[in-house]
Amino acid sequence: MSNRSNEDIFKRGLFIRNIARSVTDQLIKLAFAAFSPIPNSVRVNHYSNPQRLGVAYIQFNYKEDALEAMQMMDGQNIKGEKIEIEYQKSNKTSKYSPYVGPRPPLQQNKLNQEDVNKKMLFISNIDKNLSQQDLDLILKPFKTTRTYYPENIEYQRTDYCLSYFSTKEDAIQAYQHLNGMEIYQGKFKLHNIILHIDNLDEKTDENDLHYFFKSKLPDIDIRIIIRYSNSNRHKSYQYGYLNFDSIDDAQLVLGSLNHSKLKRNGNKFSLEWWQPSFPSSSAYQQPYSQQPTQNPQNILPRVVPKPIPKPQPPPSSLSTELIEDEKQKQIQMQLENLINLWKKQEQQKDQEQEKEQELKKEQELEKEQEQEKEQQYEKEQEKEQEQEKEQEQEKEQEQKKEQEKEQEQEKEQEQKKEQEQKKEQEQEKEQEKEQEQIQIGEQLLSPTNALHRIMARFCLLVSWTGDVSKDELNEIFNPLGAERVVMLKSEVGDDQQQQAQVIFQSQLEAQNALEETDGKIIRDSVLEIEIQDHIQHLPQPDSKKLIVNGNTLESIHVNIQQLNSIAEEDKKNNLGELHFGQIQKVDEPNAGKITGMLLEHDIQDLIKQPEDPHELFIKVQENIQNQVIAEAEKIADDGSTITDLASITSVFELTSLNFSFNSVISFLIGHC
């Protein structure tokens, strides 16, 4: 096969995009029916994603049909979507039909622009199974502006319609493609011979006209469309259109039934040529305006003067004078008769001229009325179009409002989600804080931490007046072997004295750091350093709340004025009750012993301790530590052996901390 034939085969298949989900194979066949597609080649594919538009494939016997289909259908709206058409990229047309060469010429009986001067065509032989929507889909390539169907009709099945086209060329193309095309069981026939009927009664419908014409001319087939009011479908605009199979039939109706009445008291309807603009046939070669009238009653008879009788020979008895007198009288009589006849003819001519003028005036009035009706019709169409545009705009506005509402709802949902997430995060943070507090309490209660506070005795107490940060202290003491720097609580303000603890692993490192840093100046602040026997404070959390063994120790405010108003002994009793309630939550069995130990301190310290649960707990641990150290020194002075040191483990029964025996012995060995 040559390259040309390959190209011809390739260009017989079309690929169509933007297919709406409601479009089926049958709809595509109807939309492209005017171009004679191969029936089995139509295939529509829809994707599983409902938001994605489908595609379709269609093939033709001739490349000319495929080209016309692509040119005339590309961009057309089918079920709310504008389709896009291009040639298929793969050659599959030979599967359905072999290449048979170029397309034969279309119908030879082509129409001229004069034949469709009103851009109107009647379509008959429409199958009853073909709906109006399907017919509109078939006519879509030819840009029909509107289509009318018989509405109030009973005498036959409504198998015809009247279509208006945008241009004369569109009407001619529709005639060439659709005339003789078979759809279902019907074979389309397109007609361009149309008469305009006007001056009808408002209640006249297609049935009335059909019965009238069938009673007068039963052998003529007439298709009738009457224009009805949009507001009242039983009230017409008093005009319509008549369609015939031949110009001869239309001429016969126009010549014999023009200005007739459907009813005695009804209007005289008027008929005129509408389309084509210059009708002609074998029977009527002259234009309609020059044809002889078919109504002989309207023609006045021609007046012919009577012949002048021959004079008789005069009788012999009469004289010649009498004969001449009689001749003159006869001549005068003839002249008078001729004059009277001429006057009558002139009067008849005047009357005919008056009647012609009246007819012309009536025709001009009818034309003016038709023009007015056409203008009204155009105005109504414009109003309908404006209403449609307004409805479309309203729909668009409603859609925009719905979209805005959906967006607002989505934003509200997102905000709600963010708020819920924030709440969850806050709850998580609160839970984390509670867990941290629980961990702090557990760390404070653990034997390891308690023993660490007892063992870590090598620390420096740093004092200064001014603004010195923790980072600056770390830069000074970390190179000297400091384990950490702990900032102690102090009064707010640059003029108040500030303190910090610097902890070392050995006494030698602490002594070296004291010698190198004592009296050092940082930002106009002089560091005063001294060695502490043991750590007095631990880092405290921000919240004044401590969770120990599942119990919460909260800050208790002490009313100092009320406390100063009572006796000294009663003061310690009241403070003892406050301490006992807090200590009981931590170590209920030994709460009394621990409270008694704390009451030996200064009353000012006892006032501060209930307000800070961490400070209270640390004080309890320090008292236990001091007792252990004192007991260990006492044993060392007596010269007891290591095995006798087991007796001091009873000291640890003062607290709920369960120190192991080996950890206590290890501490005493290092201390002694």
Give the amino acid at 168: K
Residue 18: band (very low, low, confident or very high) from pLDDT cuts 50, 70, 90:
very high
Tokens of 367: 């034309």
Residue scoring higher pLDDT (290 or 84): 84
Confirm whether 3-95 and 113-288 share one CATH topology: yes
Pick the closest to residue 660 from 505, 446, 457 (CA basis): 446
- Integer Cα distance of 454 and 456 in angstroms: 6
Looking at residue 655, its pLDDT comes to 41
Model confidence at 507: pLDDT above 60: yes
Say if residue 167's pLDDT is above 90.
yes
* 21-25, 136-140, 547-551, 661-665: least confidently modelled range: 661-665
CATH class of 545-671: mainly alpha
Q: Please report which confidence band the pLDDT of residue 20 belongs to, taking 50, 70 and 90 as the band edges.
A: very high
* Distance (Å, whole) CA 616 – CA 415: 45
Mean pLDDT of 457-470: 82
* CATH assignment of 113-288, among 3.30.9.30, 3.30.70.330, 3.40.640.10, 3.40.228.10: 3.30.70.330
Partners of residue 547 on adjacent β-strands? 552
Question: For the residues 197-216, what does the mean pLDDT come to?
Answer: 90
Q: What is the pTM of this model?
A: 0.42
- The CATH code that applies to domain 3-95 is 3.30.70.330
Burial of 638 (0-12, 13-18, 19+ CB in 10 A): exposed
Q: Is the pLDDT of residue 542 over 50?
A: no
pLDDT at 23: 93
Tens-place pLDDT, residues 211-230: 999 999 999 999 999 988 87
> How confident is the model at residue 354, as a pLDDT?
87
Q: Is 90 helix (H, G, I), strand (E, B) or coil?
A: coil
Cite the beta strand spans of 452-535 per DSSP E: 459-465, 484-487, 497-503, 521-522, 525-526, 528-532
pLDDT of residue 161: 92
**Highest CATH level, class, for 458-532:** alpha beta
Mean pLDDT confidence for 502-518: 83
pLDDT at 671: 42
Report how far residue 408's alpha carbon sits from residue 507's, in angstroms, rounded to the nearest whole number: 70
Percent of the chain with pLDDT over 90: 21
Residue whose C-alpha is closest to residue 56's, from 93, 11, 14, 107: 14
Q: Which of 331-340, 605-614, 636-645 has the highest mean pLDDT?
A: 331-340
- pLDDT-derived band of residue 101, with 50, 70 and 90 as boundaries? low
Quote the pLDDT of residue 183: 85
Query: Is the model's pLDDT at 299 over the cut of 50?
Result: no
Q: What is the mean pLDDT of the chain?
A: 76
Q: How far apart are CA 61 and CA 96, in angstroms?
A: 9
Q: Residue 614 and residue 441: Cα distance in Å, rounded?
A: 9
pLDDT over 70 at 422, yes or no: yes
Q: What is the pLDDT of residue 298?
A: 36
Strand partners, 19: 54
Q: In angstroms, rounded to a whole number, what is the distance separating the alpha carbons of residues 272 and 251?
A: 10
Domain boundaries, the chain: 3-95, 113-288, 298-424, 458-532, 545-671
**Rounded to an integer, what distance in angstroms lies between the CA atom of residue 455 and that of residue 467?**
31
Residue 548 contacts residue 444 (beta carbons within 8 Å): yes
Measured between alpha carbons, how far is 74 from 31 in angstroms, rounded to an integer? 12
Determine the pLDDT at residue 544. 58
Closest by Cα among 64, 14, 13, 35 to 138: 35
- The pLDDT-based confidence of 592 (bands split at 50, 70, 90) is confident
When pLDDT is cut at 50, 70 and 90, the band that residue 141 belongs to is very high
The more confidently predicted of residues 383 and 90 is: 383
pLDDT of residue 9: 56
Main-chain phi, psi angles of 257, to 5 degrees: -120, 5
Q: Is pLDDT at 670 greater than 90 in this prediction?
A: no
| Cβ(659)–Cβ(448) below 8 Å | no
DSSP state of 242: E
Query: What local confidence, expressed as pLDDT, does residue 46 receive?
Result: 92
Joined tokens for residue 215:
């009673």
pLDDT digits (tens, 9 = 90+) for 612-665: 666 666 666 666 666 666 665 565 555 443 333 344 444 444 343 444 444 444
Q: Give the pLDDT mean for 189-201.
A: 92
Higher confidence at residue 568 or residue 84? 84
To the nearest 10 degrees (0 to 180), the angle between helices 447-455 and 661-671 is 10
d(CA 537, CA 529): 17
pLDDT at 470: 86
Higher pLDDT, 183 or 635: 183
